[in-house]
């Protein structure tokens, strides 16, 4: 198959596990002999380095400022110009790669007219949904807002080649990372989805090989891995951490919202724990050692988490997990079996869970053993095999095989 993958961010210039899932899947497609091209945004992440593993065109312009997590403000005419530039880049990529299937992943911050262009050409399309962009995307798309409020600009766009109708995804095969994310998208009713399935994501065991459980002493070393965003619950984690024993240490690893990061550094200072909290960013290749060096991974997410790959990475590394189980993460996180759960935003509940896990060696061993079993069932190899089958099925149904 010839596959063109479309995504807003692509490793190594990426902030989280969802982008790496796309990368892992495309890399496995290449290893299976398929011709993969990627079209993504020109966003960069400080410190990210290394050549692209396969053909990657980083020329799309995003309407989102990824560093500060705010929309990039533009006048209506500039929105139109950006829309036309992005469409031109997509058309060049389609001409160059001549795909049998277009594989769409993350469209948050990108022009949704790109999807309308793929539909206009009647190209087979697989859409993998790992966050809620199907819900928020239509409301936040600047071109839709401009076209609705500026008729002359809308007319100019149509004359210049912007697709006249919005994408519907009625012929696309749409794969959701969790039933929760599927249900939210269907309830929003913004898309005419006809071919829907759920395929849970998986941990890349090449990067995070599953470690056999072992007896380990407890020394109050806590780890948070994830985006630095308000809905991730880092503030709750810091407030709970301030009530733990003095020997406790916390490492917070993740990029994202620079303003929120600064606020969390200030919060640690106001709580009197700055000397025991390390904020940083680690390349994916170093995360295994970070996981293995800690006693527990805290996943304190407070929003409707679409899935949550961090707990699986921790489980593969034989580290117990304390989490909220919000959204799709609750579909594989089982309280008392492979993790301990606490209510989102509840610092008291987090303190109680951490003290419980610290005091009960048998509980830690059980969580680690069952966590390894969970990670072994939910792997990137399994997920990529399923995605390959979906892409082939989509191509077959349109007579392109």
Summarised one tens digit per residue, pLDDT across range 121-146 is 999 999 999 999 999 988 888 998 88
Q: Which pTM was predicted?
A: 0.92
User: Pairing state of beta strands 221-225 and 173-176?
Assistant: unpaired
Overall average pLDDT of the 365-373 stretch: 96
pLDDT mean over 98-124? 95
State the DSSP code for 177: S
With CA atoms as reference, report the closest residue to 368 among 330, 305, 287, 311: 311
Give residue 218's pLDDT: 94
Nearest to 395 by CA among 29, 116, 7, 8: 29
pLDDT at 176 over 90: yes
- For residue 153, give the H/E element and its range: helix 151-160
For position 401, what pLDDT does the model report?
A: 45
Q: What is the pLDDT of residue 150?
A: 85
pLDDT of residue 7: 95
Handedness of CA 227, 298, 212, 336 (dihedral sign): negative
pLDDT at 3 over 50: yes
In 271-350, beta strands by DSSP E: 277-280, 296-299, 321-323, 340-341
Residue 67 has pLDDT above 90, yes or no: no
Helix (H, G, I), strand (E, B) or coil at 70: strand
Cα–Cα distance measured from residue 188 to residue 280, given in angstroms and rounded to the nearest whole number: 36
In which band, very low, low, confident or very high, does the pLDDT at 232 lie, cut at 50, 70 and 90? very high
Mean pLDDT, residues 364-383: 96
């Amino acid at each position: 198959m010839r596959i063109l993958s479309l995504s807003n961010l692509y490793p190594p210039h990426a902030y989280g596990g969802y982008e790496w899932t796309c990368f892992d899947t495309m890399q496995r497609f290449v290893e299976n002999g398929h011709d993969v091209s990627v079209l993504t945004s020109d966003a960069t992440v400080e410190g990210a380095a290394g050549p692209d593993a396969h053909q990657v065109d980083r020329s799309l312009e995003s309407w989102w400022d990824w560093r500060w997590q705010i929309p990039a403000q533009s006048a209506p005419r500039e929105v139109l110009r950006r829309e036309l530039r992005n469409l031109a880049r997509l058309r060049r990529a389609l001409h160059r790669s001549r795909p049998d299937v277009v594989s769409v992943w993350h469209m948050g911050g990108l022009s949704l007219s790109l999807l309308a262009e793929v539909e206009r050409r009647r190209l087979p399309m697989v859409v993998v949904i790992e966050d809620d962009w199907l819900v928020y995307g239509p409301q936040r798309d600047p071109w839709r807002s401009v076209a609705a409020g500026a008729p002359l600009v809308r007319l100019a766009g149509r004359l210049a080649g912007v697709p006249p109708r919005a994408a519907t995804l009625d012929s696309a095969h749409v794969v959701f990372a969790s039933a929760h994310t599927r249900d939210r998208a269907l309830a929003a009713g913004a898309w005419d989805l006809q071919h829907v399935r759920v395929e849970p994501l998986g941990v890349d065991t090449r990067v995070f090989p599953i470690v056999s459980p072992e007896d380990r002493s407890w020394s109050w070393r806590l780890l948070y891995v994830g985006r630095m965003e308000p809905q991730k619950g880092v503030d709750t984690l810091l407030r709970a951490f301030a009530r733990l024993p003095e020997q406790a240490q916390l490492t917070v690893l993740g990029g994202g919202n620079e303003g929120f990061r600064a606020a969390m550094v200030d919060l640690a200072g106001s709580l009197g724990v700055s000397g025991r909290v390390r904020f940083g960013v680690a390349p994916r290749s170093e995360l295994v050692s970070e996981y293995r060096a800690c006693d527990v991974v805290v996943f304190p997410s407070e929003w409707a988490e679409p899935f949550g790959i961090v707990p699986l990475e921790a489980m593969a590394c034989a580290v117990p997990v304390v989490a909220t189980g919000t959204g799709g993460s609750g579909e594989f996180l089982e309280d008392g079996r492979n993790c301990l759960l606490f209510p989102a935003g509840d610092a008291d509940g987090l303190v109680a869970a951490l003290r419980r896990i610290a005091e009960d060696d048998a509980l830690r061993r059980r969580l680690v053993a069952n966590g390894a079993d969970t990670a072994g069932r939910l792997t990137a190899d399994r997920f990529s095999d399923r995605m390959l089958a979906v892409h082939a099925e989509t191509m077959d149904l349109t007579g392109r095989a």
